[in-house]
Amino acid sequence: MLAAIDEHQKTLDLAFSIVLPPSLGYLEHKHTKTLPLNTFLMSDLKAGEVCYIHSSLTSNPLDSFTFNVSDGRNSVLQTFYINISSVYNSLPIVKLSPLKIKEGEEKVITEFEIDIFDKDTQDQDVIIKVLKPPQHGILKNANTSVSQVFSLYDIKHGRISYFHDGSESVNDSFTLIVSDGINKEYIFVSNNLKNVTSRNPV
């Protein structure tokens, strides 16, 4: 919250003047709607009449403005920082490539096979749920258990692998759903595990 105190002057009479305006929006007086608002008093702040209007289309989460606050004799230069919370969360972008594996082999699934890009969500919050498991193998997490739910973080750190059951199968696949935890819409994709060849061809 923006505020100032002067021990020798009436606090409400302190004057603020903008030296460097915000780059992602502007300041506005609640009642006069003066654009841009370059000067105001502490009394305006106290009454809640100074507003910051975010007007940028960029996803930068931080804005700021620099100002002088003066009692008429002395002034102080300060910078006020504004944290911007996103109200729009983009859908994850998913790109899949076939995993090449031999019969009975286990292979780590990397970003080359499941490539997910979400510009406004951390990797551990991008969740991948298996709706239809593979028919000729299993998905494992860190070589310890069958995995039906994992994250993009797990993929990037080499924790997820596909283990083929050794059967005479040429193709396998599993269907998954990707969620960033916010969007109600999800992307359904199917990954084909192709070119399954025998270790010892006859």
Question: Three-state DSSP class for 169?
Answer: coil
Do 112 and 37 reside in the same domain of the chain? Answer: no
Could you tell me which residue, 19 or 32, shows the higher pLDDT? Answer: 19
- Averaged pLDDT score across all residues of the chain: 82
Domain range for residue 188?
93-195
pLDDT beyond 80 at 198: no
What is the predicted pLDDT for the residue at 121? 83
Note the pTM of the prediction, 2 decimals.
0.53
> Residues 106, 188: one domain?
yes
Predicted local distance difference test score (pLDDT) of residue 79 = 95
Number of domains in the chain: 2
The phi, psi pair for 158, rounded to 5°, reads 65, 30
Judged by average pLDDT, the poorest of 37-46, 104-113, 182-191 is 182-191
The DSSP symbol for 98 reads P
Which has more pLDDT, 146 or 46? 46
pLDDT in tens, 161-173: 999 999 988 899 9
Distance CA 123, CA 25 (A): 30
pLDDT band of residue 200 (cuts 50, 70, 90) is very low
pLDDT of 142 over the 80 cut: yes
Low-confidence winner among 34-43, 80-89, 153-162 (lowest mean pLDDT): 80-89
Contact 98, 113 (CB under 8 A): yes
Mark which of 52, 83, 114 sits at the end of a domain.
83
| Residues 136 and 51 both lie in one domain | no
**Cα 193 from chain centroid?**
30
